[in-house]
Amino acid sequence: MCIGFPGKVLSISEDGFALIDVNGVRREACLDLVDQEVAVGDYVLCHAGYAIHRLDEAVALEKLEFLRDLIRNEIY
Amino acid sequence: MKFIDEFRDPDLIRGLLKGIEKTAERIGRPVTVMEVCGTHTMAIGRFGLRRLLPAGIRLVSGPGCPVCVTAIEDVDRALHLAGRKGILFATFGDMLRVPGTGGVTLQKLRADGADVRVVLSPADVIALAEKNRSQEVVFMGIGFETTAPAAASLILRARERNLDNLTVFAVHKLIPPAMKALVEDPELKLDGFLCPGHVSTIIGAKAYEFLPEQAGASAVITGFEPVDILEGILMILRQIDTGERKVEIQYTRAVNPEGNPRALALMERVFEPGQAPWRGLGSMDGSGLRIRDAYGPLDAAKRFAFPEIHSEEVRGCACGTVLRGAMRPSRCPLFRVRCNPRNPLGPCMVSSEGTCAACFKYHREEEP
């Protein structure tokens, strides 16, 4: 029950639910809890049928790049 | 970017393992790290991370499986509700096989004719209540800070629609009070915590500040992919190495330092902290969530009268000790032989996030 997974928003309904694509599987996610604006095409973190966070691709990529740098320069 | 494969990159994993080895060597003493969350426990098993770590780094599993920490009294109360005439009892699938006193489960009650439904989301309960107006629909609200806001949203939506046949039986729990009890446990001697990623998406980083400040323990909020978990471990080791204990966020793509204010506000509006019983940890002040009086009509604990139930754990079941991180499942006398996924005697073997289930599935070679 506690598995959170990322999904891509396909559409958003008027009553605050998004249809999301999770690796090819379509699921519904309630948008009551997510604290950023969510648009079609965004990735959201979904937990027990609720989107709890909008995933920011730039943040994730920057983090991976930084991690590669740390390893490459033997800081880690 | 799909936010999964990128965090399973073999080169990054090799680099992190090298860093872990170097840092562990510099520290020169054994280190004990607790992964609090059941999803971490499962991921560590699934990706075989334990055996990649240097011998001195010990990972212990904590109480972060909501089904597992639900006290037997609460399981029995849920079973009582589900067995009553006229009730449609909805809950998450994990709850179905959790045994109450005498080995009764929701699944068995359902086979005997009780109306027990599995939902994937609290939001699904609205439709259930609308379609089944002649029944009292009870949703068992279980889970930590990640699921409690969803239950709060359900309660607010039910009120908005004047659904008078819907109530929530809430046994939600809060993670920081449990971590406080564990870090103070002299038997465990924990150096640091991999803090639960998605609980932290909601509560943020501040909630863990007592760990470095009061107990000198490291706290790193960590994601669930192998790169995340190994980096989380490395960040704890680096804190030990430099002596600077603090709360850090490894899982930056999903966690803001302030958490999710919208979800927190919803939770705060519907619930208030209260005393709650935990399996393995006993009753702790402020560790549970009660539905506020303003939403009393939606509270199953108020709507229904409970008889006195004499609750009793399965004899010999060590789930309580396992949940505190004080025993590996393989040391439980019931493990594998009498208690296994086909015939689970305790909740830690039932749940897909349970420590015993993870140990059974992924650590077959582990010696008792």
Which class in CATH covers the domain with range B68-174+259-303?
alpha beta
Contact list, A33 vs chain B (CB under 8 Å): 149-150, 153, 260, 262-263, 266
- Report the alpha-carbon distance of residue B213 to residue A32 in Å, rounded: 34
CB-based contact B19 A17, cutoff 8 Å? no
Whole-angstrom CA distances from A72 to A65, B12, B16, B228 are: 10, 10, 11, 17
Residue with tokens 């449609």: B88
Determine contact: A59 vs chain B, CB below 8 A.
yes
- Report the alpha-carbon distance of residue B338 to residue B316 in Å, rounded: 11
Phi-psi region of B3 (alpha: psi -120 to 50; beta: other; left: phi over 0): left
pLDDT at position B363 is 81
pLDDT at position A23 is 87
- Report the alpha-carbon distance of residue B337 to residue B53 in Å, rounded: 29
Minimal C-alpha gap between B302 and chain A (Å): 25
- Please report, rounded to a whole number, the percentage of residues in chain A having pLDDT higher than 70: 97
Minimal C-alpha gap between A26 and chain B (Å): 13
Contact list, A34 vs chain B (CB under 8 Å): 260, 262
Minimal C-alpha gap between A41 and chain B (Å): 12
Ordered by start, the domain boundaries in chain A are 4-72
Name residue B307's amino acid: P
Which class in CATH covers the domain with range A4-72?
mainly beta
Identify from B20, B23, B253 which residue to disrupt to test chain A contact, counting A C-beta atoms within 10 A and taking the largest count: B253
Domain with CATH 3.40.50.11740 in chain B: 68-174+259-303
Contact list, A28 vs chain B (CB under 8 Å): 121, 123
Output the furthest CA–CA distance in chain B (Å, rounded).
67
Q: What angle do CA B133, B139, B140 make, to 5 degrees?
A: 160
Identify from B121, B154, B239 which residue to disrupt to test chain A contact, counting A C-beta atoms within 10 A and taking the largest count: B121
Give the closest residue to B1 by CA, choosing from A34, A68, A26, A43.
A43
Of B18, B198, B253, the CB nearest to A55: B253
Determine contact: B173 vs chain A, CB below 8 A.
no
Name residue B76's amino acid: D
CB B38 within 8 A of CB B355: yes
Average pLDDT on A28-48 reads: 96
- Report the alpha-carbon distance of residue B213 to residue B114 in Å, rounded: 50
- Please report, rounded to a whole number, the percentage of residues in chain B having pLDDT higher than 90: 96
Name residue B178's amino acid: A
Six token digits for residue B66:
């909501």
- The CATH number of the structural domain formed by B5-66+176-249 is 3.40.50.11750
pLDDT digits (tens, 9 = 90+) for B173-218: 999 999 999 999 999 999 999 999 999 999 999 999 999 999 999 9
pLDDT at position B366 is 63
Six token digits for residue B265:
């506000």
Range 247-306 of B in CB contact (< 8 A) with A: 252-255, 260-263, 266
Mark the ranges of chain B whose per-residue pLDDT is less than 70: 365-368
Q: What is the ipTM metric for this complex?
A: 0.95
pLDDT at position B365 is 65
pLDDT at position B368 is 45
